[in-house]
Amino acid sequence: MEEEYMEAVESYLEWQGEEQKEELERKREEVWQAAERWAKEMEEALREAAQREAEEREATEAAARASVSEVEEKEMVTEDRLQMTLTKAIDFQLHQVLAEQFSPSLSLHFKKVTGHMPLESNGLDHQE
């Protein structure tokens, strides 16, 4: 009977060992699946973060380009105004020289060529 008891104990221990092995295998598989899910979630989160960063960078670059364009446009307007002011000043100086140095008919000829008297274009009064 002792022999049967020992065999039963051995059989029970083997069965318990198998049960523990199977339980360990199930737990190992669960942990592995959880790790795979976590890795996929992290990969997706990193991909989304990279996408947001790229969109933010693109928006920043677009804003910078728009800002540069705006500054360039303002510079062009300023240059145009400066050019107009210089042209009027040159016209005025030329008209003054013509009026002081030459006859009034030459001033009239200047008006025919330019289409206006420089004094009329910038609102200055002719002073003699």
Predicted confidence (pLDDT) per residue in 43-76, tens digit? 999 999 999 999 999 999 999 888 888 888 888 8
pLDDT of the residue at 120 = 47
Q: Are 119 and 108 in contact (CB under 8 A)?
A: no
The residue ranges of every structural domain in the chain are 2-122
Instruction: Choose the weakest-confidence range: 13-17, 18-22, 37-41, 103-107.
Output: 103-107
Retrieve residue 95's tokens: 């008209």
Q: How many whole angstroms separate alpha carbon 43 and alpha carbon 37?
A: 10
Instruction: Choose the weakest-confidence range: 36-40, 52-56, 57-61, 93-97.
Output: 93-97
List the one residue out of 73, 126, 121 whose CA is nearest residue 99: 126
Q: Are 92 and 122 in contact (CB under 8 A)?
A: yes
pLDDT confidence of 19, banded at 50, 70, 90?
Answer: confident
